[in-house]
């Protein structure tokens, strides 16, 4: 029945949201991780009083500075005293509302899936194409110059052309003024784009978000940024959320201010600013009671005109970070891709540093965005750590030898949180081929690696640089490939096909190291007095996550270098074992340092319980003198934490959130 409903809405223009059902059809349900809470905190969006632009140089400068700060912090701001009379705003919203109340056959005159059409009515994003549908209906039409387009707008309701045209003309003038203020805030002067914006594109999109019976299951619009220089939004009620990248990517509700207009920085200004300003990521949420109307006016250069980073904002420390593109390029991309699932973003295709980070471009200097605070900078002459070396051959000789190995592991876990193992059962050729496979992958052309590039930390196969590309305030000098690996047969086909031997050679290594991890986990639980089989089933069936990581160990305060022993493997005690041991063992704090001469390759194989399985302190290790010291958590909990926090600054640590004070 639900499938039939979705199918019918594609063909009739009477979508589920227009029919007013008592439930949300399956084709509208977004994944649980993307569903709105409907209790997001309010964003502290700046309110800029534009009266100051017209009151003299001192007042103008203050407004320009306010706009620049808002563009850096949020990528959006409210404007008041913008020069558009309230009656014009009200009539525009009224005209949009009346259009959406017209009979279906009147609206169907403009229905189309062709994103290039200058006048288009539709539901969701692209009717009948989107895998996930969204709870909105819309009317989009070009608007500048008004005389060229207004006759192609709807004739009904009768006042539509007059009322929407009056608003469009006013908001176009406002956009030119705001574009000048924005370029002035970048040090480019107020006239940098004025002529291009006066003659450029204006697209008016009126959106209707009807009441939704289950607003927690779906969205009005998915997360996205606008491909424009500026978007100016008029809304009848709250319902817009922005992603606050300086608060861990959390969603925050944009407050509704009567008479104010919301200004979004679009992708074009992110490109022009060479990344100094970021286009705001936003989405539309719903409610079960009221219809919400919004009118978004998108402003950019001409349809075919390219926007590129301003030459004045490109230098040795800030190399060109984006390719040039036009509004037409975006429409072509939108036509060919399902952007509603959030897996592909046009702006990401423009980023030159995506897949070609500073560390890959072999610059002669370190850009400022890579510089860590002086207190965290390495000395590069740290003493060597006396990391214990455990010979695992003793496991297989006799009970007495096994006991000695267990005691060695216990001492290492208590005093260091780390140890090296030799005679581990993995042949040197397997190790060498795995390192060779990794090195071969990182030498591939950028476009080959870009196939699996993502900032989504939940993805089972992910290539990237730093920690989260384009999100971290401080970037780190590495590139990595992360992939799930256990059970191998479930994941290996999703691994890179190139270089041709990658799957075979890395698969051979991950199979061997998974078996070793189960043995070592048994030895560690045995050293805690819990027995060797305490976790064996859980680790054997659990997560194995492989990625490139360089290691430096911290012991007793100062940083110490972990020596490289040919053929040995370094074993870290992780947070899960600190939790299981109730704090008797400590997960080792480590970092990676770099050098100016050689590339260093490392393969870290991370082993834990299943994705959703919780680790908590062993009851056998709790008593009156040692009360439970940690809350339970899963690997999935950590990934969720990582996705919304910037851990690169070292100010927040997942393990600290688990400690029971």
Q: Worst-scoring range by mean pLDDT, 2-6, 118-122, 304-308?
A: 2-6
Cα(16)–Cα(8) distance, rounded to whole angstroms? Answer: 9
pLDDT digit string (tens) for 566-603?
889 999 999 999 999 999 998 888 888 888 878 888 89
Residues 6+ apart with CB under 8 A from 572: 417, 418, 587, 588, 590
* Helix, strand counts (H, E) of the chain: 21, 22
Task: Kindly tell me if the per-residue pLDDT of 387 is higher than 60.
Answer: yes
Q: Worst-scoring range by mean pLDDT, 71-75, 114-118, 542-546, 583-587?
A: 542-546
Residues 6+ apart with CB under 8 A from 325: 271, 306, 307, 346, 350
pLDDT at 541: 57
Task: Kindly tell me if the per-residue pLDDT of 7 is higher than 50.
Answer: no
Mean pLDDT score of the chain: 86
Burial 348-379 (b: 16+ CB within 10 A, else e): ebbbebbbbbbbeeeeeeebeebebeeeeeee
pLDDT at 6: 46
Residue spans of alpha helices (H) in 35-85: 57-73
Asked if residues 138 and 122 have their Cβ atoms less than 8 Å apart, the reply is yes
pLDDT digit string (tens) for 322-359?
889 999 988 888 877 766 555 567 887 888 754 456 66
Task: Kindly tell me if the per-residue pLDDT of 176 is higher than 70.
Answer: yes
Handedness of CA 528, 529, 532, 537 (dihedral sign): negative
Task: Kindly tell me if the per-residue pLDDT of 555 is higher than 80.
Answer: no
**Helix (H) or strand (E) run with residue 481 in it:** strand 479-484
pLDDT at 358: 63
Q: Which of 150, 141, 130 is nearest to 107 (CA)?
A: 141
Cα(236)–Cα(169) distance, rounded to whole angstroms? Answer: 20
Q: Worst-scoring range by mean pLDDT, 91-105, 454-468, 639-653?
A: 639-653
pLDDT digit string (tens) for 266-300?
999 999 999 999 999 999 999 999 999 999 999 99
Average pLDDT of the residues in 396-406: 91
Task: Kindly tell me if the per-residue pLDDT of 88 is higher than 60.
Answer: yes
Asked if residues 276 and 188 have their Cβ atoms less than 8 Å apart, the reply is no
pLDDT at 648: 58
pLDDT at 149: 97
Span 2-353 CATH architecture: Sandwich (2.60)
- What percent of the chain has pLDDT above 70? 88
Q: Which of 131, 496, 115 is nearest to 342 (CA)?
A: 131
Handedness of CA 97, 101, 104, 109 (dihedral sign): negative
Average pLDDT of the residues in 130-138: 85
**Rounded (10°) CA dihedral 573, 579, 585, 588:** 40
pLDDT digit string (tens) for 436-464?
999 999 888 877 887 888 777 888 998 88
Average pLDDT of the residues in 62-73: 95
Task: Kindly tell me if the per-residue pLDDT of 471 is higher than 80.
Answer: no
pLDDT at 3: 35
CATH fit for domain 382-658, picks 1.10.3720.10, 3.40.50.970, 2.60.120.330, 3.40.250.10: 2.60.120.330
Residues 6+ apart with CB under 8 A from 392: 405, 421, 422, 423, 424, 425, 519
Residues 6+ apart with CB under 8 A from 651: none
pLDDT at 565: 86
pLDDT digit string (tens) for 539-554?
755 545 444 333 344 4
Q: Which of 155-169, 434-448, 467-481 has the highest mean pLDDT?
A: 155-169
- 3-state SS string over 628-661? CCECCECHHHHHHHHHHCCHHHCCCCHHHHHECC
pLDDT at 381: 79
Q: DSSP secondary structure string, 162-197?
A: HHHHHHHHHHHHHHHHHHHHHHHHTTS-TTTTHHHH
Q: Answer with the residue of higher pLDDT: 393 or 6.
A: 393
| pLDDT tier, 129 (very low <50, low <70, confident <90, very high otherwise) | low
Asked if residues 205 and 224 have their Cβ atoms less than 8 Å apart, the reply is no
Domain boundary assignment for the chain: 2-353, 382-658
Residue with tokens 């009904």: 156
Average pLDDT of the residues in 186-193: 96
Cα(86)–Cα(94) distance, rounded to whole angstroms? Answer: 12
pLDDT at 174: 98
Cα(201)–Cα(51) distance, rounded to whole angstroms? Answer: 26
Q: Which strands make up the sheet holding 590-591, listed edge to edge?
A: 559-560, 552-554, 590-591
Instruction: Provide the angle, in degrees to the nearest 10, between the axes of the packed helices 160-185 and 86-100.
Output: 120
**Helix (H) or strand (E) run with residue 509 in it:** helix 502-527
Average pLDDT of the residues in 113-132: 77
């Amino acid at each position: 029945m639900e499938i039939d409903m979705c199918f019918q809405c594609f063909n009739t223009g009477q979508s589920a949201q227009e029919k007013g059902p008592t439930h949300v059809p399956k084709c509208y349900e977004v994944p649980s991780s993307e569903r709105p809470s409907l209790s997001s905190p309010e964003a502290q969006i700046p309110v800029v009083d534009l009266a100051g632009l017209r009151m003299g140089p001192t007042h103008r400068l203050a407004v320009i500075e306010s706009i620049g700060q808002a563009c850096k912090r949020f990528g959006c701001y409210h404007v008041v005293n913008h020069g558009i009379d309230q009656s014009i705003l009200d009539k525009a919203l009224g005209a949009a509302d009346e259009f959406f109340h017209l009979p279906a056959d009147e609206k169907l005159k403009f229905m189309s899936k062709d994103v290039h059409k200058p006048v288009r009515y539709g539901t969701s994003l692209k009717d009948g194409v989107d895998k996930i549908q969204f709870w909105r209906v819309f009317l989009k039409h070009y608007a500048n110059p008004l005389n060229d387009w207004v006759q192609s707008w709807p004739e009904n309701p009768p006042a539509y052309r007059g009322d929407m045209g009056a608003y469009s003309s006013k908001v176009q003038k406002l956009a030119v003024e705001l574009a000048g203020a924005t370029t002035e805030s970048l040090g480019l002067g107020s006239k940098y784009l004025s002529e291009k914006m006066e003659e450029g594109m204006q697209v008016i999109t009126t959106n209707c978000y009807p009441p939704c019976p289950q607003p927690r299951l779906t969205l009005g619009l998915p997360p996205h940024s606008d491909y424009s220089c500026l978007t100016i939004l008029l809304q009848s009620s709250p319902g817009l959320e922005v992603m606050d990248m300086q608060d861990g990517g959390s969603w925050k509700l944009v407050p509704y201010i009567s008479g104010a207009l919301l200004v979004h920085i679009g992708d074009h200004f992110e490109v022009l600013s060479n990344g100094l300003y970021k286009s705001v990521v936003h989405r539309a949420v719903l409610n079960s009671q009221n219809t919400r109307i919004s009118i978004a006016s998108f402003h950019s250069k001409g349809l075919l005109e390219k926007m590129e980073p301003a030459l004045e904002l490109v230098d040795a420390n800030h190399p060109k970070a984006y390719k040039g593109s036009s509004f037409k390029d975006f429409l072509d991309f939108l036509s060919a891709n399902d952007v509603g699932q959030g897996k592909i973003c046009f702006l990401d295709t423009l980023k030159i540093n995506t897949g070609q980070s500073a560390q890959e471009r072999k610059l002669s200097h370190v850009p400022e965005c890579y510089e860590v605070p002086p207190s965290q900078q390495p000395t590069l002459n740290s003493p060597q750590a006396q990391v214990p070396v455990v010979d695992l051959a003793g496991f297989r000789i006799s009970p007495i030898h096994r006991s000695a190995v267990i005691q060695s592991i216990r001492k290492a876990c208590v005093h260091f949180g780390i140890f090296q193992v030799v005679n581990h059962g993995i042949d040197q050729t397997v190790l060498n081929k795995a390192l060779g496979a990794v090195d071969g992958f990182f030498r591939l052309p950028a476009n080959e690696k870009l196939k699996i590039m993502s900032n989504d930390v939940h993805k089972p196969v992910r290539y990237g640089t730093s920690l989260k590309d384009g999100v971290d305030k401080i970037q780190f000098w590495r590139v990595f490939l992360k992939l799930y690996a256990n059970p191998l047969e479930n994941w290996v086909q999703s691994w890179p096909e190139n270089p041709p031997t990658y799957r075979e050679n890395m698969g051979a290594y991950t199979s061997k190291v998974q078996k070793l991890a189960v043995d070592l986990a048994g030895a560690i639980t045995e050293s805690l007095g819990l027995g060797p089989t305490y976790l064996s089933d859980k680790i054997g069936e659990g997560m194995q996550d492989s990625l490139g990581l360089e290691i430096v160990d911290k012991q007793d305060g100062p940083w110490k270098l972990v020596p490289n022993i040919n053929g040995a493997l370094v074993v870290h005690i992780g947070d899960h074992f600190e939790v299981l041991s109730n704090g008797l063992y400590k997960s080792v704090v480590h970092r990676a340092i770099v050098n100016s001469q050689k590339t260093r390759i490392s393969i870290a194989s991370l082993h834990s319980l299943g994705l959703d399985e919780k680790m908590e302190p062993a009851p056998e290790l709790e008593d009156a003198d040692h009360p439970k010291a940690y809350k339970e958590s899963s690997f999935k909990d950590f990934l969720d934490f990582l996705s919304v926090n910037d851990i690169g600054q070292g100010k927040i640590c997942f393990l600290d959130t688990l400690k029971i004070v």
